[in-house]
């Protein structure tokens, strides 16, 4: 059975993830389980908080997405399939100079809720792989957007926090309804 995905407004989604300090088989197993959950749900990224753990670990997989982005890892341009699904441990994002871009985002913790979000187009990410080896990813477009969305999760930030007031108002009823459903589902059974 795939790991269940936590929905808004479960408190874990607002918790900053602890730094991963030991690159154990358990962490690799967790990443693997997250890939299963993400694939099952048809997503392109997932953060540890979304499976109920406040840890600095997220995964992304854009092999099935439109490849209108560029990416470079450790100064090289390997085929996407060699690296994805990719686990990013303890990632740190630096925004690169350049334009911002608007795109309609969704989130597996917000089923059926989508909204336009403005984000920087290009970023640089320092992270470790599951063996603890450090890497530098430079990317733009959908990959940069996906990584920013996931790294936000690791710090307790959600995509609704980035919405303009207008967009946030448009989804407000659905967000409140989802929070209510989650609260009811999380209630201890009598």
Least distance CB 119 / Zn ion (angstroms): 13
Q: Residue 19 gets which letter from DSSP? A: P
Of positions 48, 51, 107, 175, contacts Zn ion by CB under 5 A: 107
Report if residue 154 touches Zn ion, rule: CB under 5 A.
Answer: no
Stretch that binds Zn ion, among 67-75, 82-90, 91-99, 104-112 (CB under 5 A): 104-112
| Cβ-based nearer residue to Zn ion, 20 or 107 | 107
C-alpha R_g of the chain = 16
Pairing of strands 86-95, 122-128: antiparallel
**In terms of Cα–Cα distance, which of 66, 62, 65, 55 is closest to 137?**
62
Q: Are 83 and 55 in contact (CB under 8 A)?
A: no
Q: Residue 5 gets which letter from DSSP? A: P
Least distance CB 108 / Zn ion (angstroms): 6
Stretch that binds Zn ion, among 10-18, 103-111, 136-144, 163-171 (CB under 5 A): 103-111
Is 112 one of the catalytic residues? no
Q: How many residues does the chain have?
A: 190
* Site residues (vs Zn ion, CB under 5 A): 107
* Residues with a known catalytic role: 150
């Amino acid at each position: 059975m795939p790991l269940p995905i936590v929905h808004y407004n479960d408190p874990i989604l607002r918790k900053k993830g602890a730094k991963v300090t030991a690159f154990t088989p358990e962490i690799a197993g967790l990443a693997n389980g997250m890939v299963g959950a993400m694939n099952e749900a048809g997503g392109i990224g997932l953060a540890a908080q979304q499976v109920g753990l406040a840890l600095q670990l997220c995964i992304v997989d854009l092999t099935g997405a439109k490849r209108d982005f560029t990416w470079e890892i450790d100064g090289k341009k390997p085929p996407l399939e060699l690296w994805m699904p990719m686990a990013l441990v303890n990632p740190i994002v630096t925004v690169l100079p350049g334009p911002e871009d608007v795109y309609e985002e969704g989130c597996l913790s917000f089923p059926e809720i989508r909204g336009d979000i403005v984000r920087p187009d290009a970023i640089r990410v320092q992270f470790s792989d599951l063996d603890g080896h450090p890497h530098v990813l430079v990317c733009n477009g959908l990959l940069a957007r996906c990584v920013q969305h996931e790294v936000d999760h690791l710090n307790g930030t959600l995509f609704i926090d980035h919405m303009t007031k207008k967009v946030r108002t448009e989804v407000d009823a659905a967000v409140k309804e989802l929070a209510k459903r989650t609260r009811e589902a999380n209630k201890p059974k009598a």
